[in-house]
A and B are shown apart, each in its own frame.
Chain A
Amino acid sequence: MVQYIFRRVIQAIPLLFIISFVLFALTNSLGDPLAVFAESRQRPSAAQREALIRRLGLDRPILEQYAIWLVGNDWMQVDVRGDGSEYAPGTRQGVLRGDLGLSFVTRKPAWTRIEERLPMTLTLMIPAYLITLILAVGIGVYSAVRQYSLLDNVVTGLAFFFYSMPIFFIALLTIYIFAVQFSQWGWGGLPIGGTGDGTFGDLLRHMIMPIFCLVAIQLAGYVRFIRSSMVEVLGQDYVRTANAKGLSERNVVTRHALKNAALPLVTLVGLDLPFLLAGAVVTERIFAWPGMGRLFIESFERADIPVMMAILMLLCVLVVIFQILTDIVYTWFDPRIRYYS
């Protein structure tokens, strides 16, 4: 097992290097990062601009820039003026030593930008995901056990309905009904955007609508997934055996069926969890929620390469880690699975 994990990690490393290089090349061809400064009051002169480009290393070939991004440049001298008249030691430590670089826009470390936004994204995504999972297991199991009952049919229909809705439709409808109309009718509508005045109660009030939308959009997929894997498991011989020897239905469903049906769910959750960190771009946009999705869009619009790279690489690394974790959890759920290296 340890050997297996070790091998998986070793395999993942070259993959991460390749992904990071491709992403680096892509993000670097997005546009001029210095265009941001053109809008600012102190518009840099051509000479300043050139100095800035050189200081950021943007005049270098892409491979060299990538190498500096990886290992930093504090071990070499940077030609400050471009004519060999003045040298200064580099300041960057490189990603491999945990330095993700400075944001082009705020000149703060890219990691600080992420640290500011990540908690906000997680306060939205984790409750939404937990509610989704709990509701999905409940509804999915029920509609698998009582197949083609009224509730099953209603839920399946609704599931399709929400599943097919673009999230902005749900979001705009919710806002229109619960914020706009409710306050017109004098029922005290829910607050529309932002995170409130800093108190916990107000934060909760601001979380209601985005979480409702996120749950509504995700729930359907999970319910259908759990329902179909439960239906499959309920048709197995061991479930018939369990029923035949007189176990209570509750016991059969939870101990025998659900435990086996949960296995594919583990994979799904393991693959989805890292993406919670990416936030929900559209939802965050509509509800003006200062999360990771908006951070990505903001950095994207300003070609803030270090921040974009930080977000993308964080996700890639987490995906790899969660894949390995999923494999480990698998052996725990199903002792028959053994990994050999």
Chain B
Amino acid sequence: MTTVNPAQPIVRLQAEKGRSNLSRSLARLRRHRMALIGALLLLIVILFVLLGSILIPEAESIYNDPSRALQFPSNGHPFGTDVIGRDLLARTVYGGQISLFVGITAMIVQMFVGTLAGLFAGYLGGVIDSVLMRLAEAMLSIPQLFLALIALRIFSDPTQFPDFEFLGRQYSSTMIVIVFVIGLTSWMRVARIVRSVVLSVKEQEYVTAARSVGARDTRIIFRHVLPNCIAPIIVSATLGVAAAILLEAYLGFLGLGVRAPTPTWGNIMGQANSYINQWYYWFFPALFIMLTTLGINFLGDGLRDAFDPRSLR
């Protein structure tokens, strides 16, 4: 990245000339009813997961007592108990933390790789462009779930990556592996979107101007081109969290996701799969997955409208 010479004051004309694009977009977002509902849903989910972990000790999510297996929701266990008698409320709370963590970090990996690939492919063109885009094409021609399964199996050998402890809680290393697996199998669309924006931006006069005063490629990419890609990046980042949470849930559901002892919404569903009659077993984790993705999709749609006023008619 470029460094700014502190002796040279930067005049920010934009800030003084009134509202920037960003603040106008945010104002539009605040008027978007769906986006507000989405944000509210997300807030509910986050509060549930955070307050839950304050009110319920983590041990509760692991403590099992087969004598109280598959109990119907009651005052003691508002969400019921699972097949080996663990409290499902506690598991939904702590599983939710992991699911949200996986969703957000996988999105960061995906955005990082996708944005860089898109920027370089679009800006540099030539061989780098065709190699990166062929790679994206190749990865898009295989269902993501298949790719993720294969990668997950290769990199989640428990002897190579043992469980680890963090802040007094034990986690399965598959949790970290899954973040990278999801992130590295879903960067392609972002790369394509960013690349297409870059292709149009790099023909603009201000890029030519920057180049004519001798700015280096990295400076042009990160100072002049990247800021123009922010809107599509934010939108796909938002939607990327939902996609990552869903993919984690599907992997967990197939019993191939994050391993015990770490609960996630996905692997609770995976265990509950064969207990259709005990609706409370699968209903609550699935409900929270749905609330989260619903909230994210609402918000993402609002963001898209806010950043792209053409779509508001």
Q: Would you give the shortest CB distance from B288 to chain A, in whole angstroms?
A: 10
Given A164-B297, A172-B276, A228-B311 in contact, is the A282-B290 Cβ separation under 8 Å? no
Q: B residues touching A (Cβ–Cβ < 8 Å)?
A: 34, 134, 137-138, 140-143, 145-146, 149-151, 153-154, 242, 246, 249-250, 253-254, 269, 273, 276-277, 279, 282-283, 286-287, 289-290, 293-294, 296-298, 301, 311, 313
Q: Would you give the shortest CB distance from A170 to chain B, in whole angstroms?
A: 9
A residues 22-45 touching B (CB-CB < 8 Å): 22-23, 26-27, 29-31
In the bound complex, CA of A110 to CA of B293 (Å): 38
Let me know if B246 and A168 touch, CB within 8 A. Answer: no
By beta carbon, the residue of chain A nearest B141 is A319
Chain B residues whose CB sits within 8 angstroms of the CB of A160 once the complex forms = 34, 294, 297-298, 301
Q: Which of B141, B142, B269, B276 has the most CB of A within 10 A?
A: B141
Instruction: Tell me if A2 counts as interface (CB < 8 A to partner B).
Output: no
Chain B residues whose CB sits within 8 angstroms of the CB of A319 once the complex forms = 140-141
In the bound complex, CA of A231 to CA of B312 (Å): 10
Let me know if B154 and A169 touch, CB within 8 A. Answer: no
Let me know if A281 and B254 touch, CB within 8 A. Answer: yes
Chain B residues whose CB sits within 8 angstroms of the CB of A316 once the complex forms = 138, 141-142
A sample of 28 inter-chain contacts (CB < 8 A) reads A19-B138, A19-B142, A22-B138, A26-B150, A26-B154, A30-B154, A160-B34, A161-B294, A164-B294, A166-B269, A166-B293, A168-B249, A168-B286, A169-B282, A169-B286, A169-B290, A172-B273, A172-B276, A172-B286, A176-B279, A281-B254, A285-B254, A296-B146, A297-B149, A300-B149, A315-B143, A316-B138, A319-B141
Given A30-B150, A285-B254 in contact, is the A315-B142 Cβ separation under 8 Å? yes
Chain B residues whose CB sits within 8 angstroms of the CB of A80 once the complex forms = none
Q: Would you give the shortest CB distance from A228 to chain B, in whole angstroms?
A: 7
Let me know if B253 and A282 touch, CB within 8 A. Answer: yes
Let me know if B249 and A27 touch, CB within 8 A. Answer: no
Let me know if B276 and A176 touch, CB within 8 A. Answer: yes
Let me know if B290 and A165 touch, CB within 8 A. Answer: yes
Q: Would you give the shortest CB distance from A266 to chain B, in whole angstroms?
A: 18
Instruction: Tell me if A278 counts as interface (CB < 8 A to partner B).
Output: yes
Chain B residues whose CB sits within 8 angstroms of the CB of A282 once the complex forms = 250, 253-254
Let me know if B276 and A235 touch, CB within 8 A. Answer: no
Let me know if A15 and B276 touch, CB within 8 A. Answer: no
Q: Would you give the shortest CB distance from B246 to chain A, in whole angstroms?
A: 6
Chain A residues whose CB sits within 8 angstroms of the CB of B294 once the complex forms = 160-161, 164
Q: Would you give the shortest CB distance from B258 to chain A, in whole angstroms?
A: 16
A residues 150-178 touching B (CB-CB < 8 Å): 160-161, 163-169, 172, 175-176
By beta carbon, the residue of chain B nearest A220 is B297
Instruction: Tell me if A333 counts as interface (CB < 8 A to partner B).
Output: no
Let me know if A30 and B153 touch, CB within 8 A. Answer: yes
Interface 1/0 per residue, A213-236 and B, CB below 8 Å? 000000000000000100100010
Q: Would you give the shortest CB distance from A278 to chain B, in whole angstroms?
A: 5
Chain A residues whose CB sits within 8 angstroms of the CB of B269 once the complex forms = 166, 168
Given A15-B134, A166-B250 in contact, is the A286-B142 Cβ separation under 8 Å? no
A residues 233-283 touching B (CB-CB < 8 Å): 235, 274-275, 278, 281-282
Chain B residues whose CB sits within 8 angstroms of the CB of A315 once the complex forms = 141-143
Interface of B is mostly: helix
In the bound complex, CA of A307 to CA of B248 (Å): 25
Instruction: Tell me if A320 counts as interface (CB < 8 A to partner B).
Output: yes
Let me know if B313 and A235 touch, CB within 8 A. Answer: yes
Chain A residues whose CB sits within 8 angstroms of the CB of B290 once the complex forms = 164-166, 169
Instruction: Tell me if A180 counts as interface (CB < 8 A to partner B).
Output: yes
By beta carbon, the residue of chain B nearest A29 is B154
By beta carbon, the residue of chain A nearest B296 is A164
List the 9 shortest-distance A-B pairs measured between CB atoms, nearest first: A319-B141, A169-B286, A164-B294, A164-B293, A19-B138, A316-B141, A278-B143, A164-B297, A165-B290
Checking B138, B153, B298 against A31 with a beta-carbon cut-off of 8 angstroms, the contacting residue is B153
Chain A residues whose CB sits within 8 angstroms of the CB of B149 once the complex forms = 297, 300
Let me know if B311 and A300 touch, CB within 8 A. Answer: no
By beta carbon, the residue of chain B nearest A11 is B134
Q: Would you give the shortest CB distance from B217 to chain A, in whole angstroms?
A: 28
Let me know if A180 and B289 touch, CB within 8 A. Answer: no
By beta carbon, the residue of chain B nearest A277 is B143
Instruction: Tell me if A18 counts as interface (CB < 8 A to partner B).
Output: yes
Let me know if A320 and B286 touch, CB within 8 A. Answer: no
Checking A26, A168, A179 against B273 with a beta-carbon cut-off of 8 angstroms, the contacting residue is A168
By beta carbon, the residue of chain B nearest A296 is B146
Let me know if B276 and A180 touch, CB within 8 A. Answer: yes
Q: Would you give the shortest CB distance from B129 to chain A, in whole angstroms?
A: 15
Instruction: Tell me if A58 counts as interface (CB < 8 A to partner B).
Output: no
Instruction: Tell me if A95 counts as interface (CB < 8 A to partner B).
Output: no
Checking A166, A286, A320 against B141 with a beta-carbon cut-off of 8 angstroms, the contacting residue is A320
Chain B residues whose CB sits within 8 angstroms of the CB of A235 once the complex forms = 313
In the bound complex, CA of A147 to CA of B312 (Å): 12
Q: Would you give the shortest CB distance from A121 to chain B, in whole angstroms?
A: 13
Q: Would you give the shortest CB distance from A81 to chain B, in whole angstroms?
A: 32
Let me know if A169 and B289 touch, CB within 8 A. Answer: yes
Q: Would you give the shortest CB distance from B146 to chain A, in whole angstroms?
A: 6
Instruction: Tell me if A312 counts as interface (CB < 8 A to partner B).
Output: yes
Chain B residues whose CB sits within 8 angstroms of the CB of A297 once the complex forms = 149, 254
Q: Would you give the shortest CB distance from B287 to chain A, in whole angstroms?
A: 8
Q: Which of B143, B277, B290, B294 has the most CB of A within 10 A?
A: B143
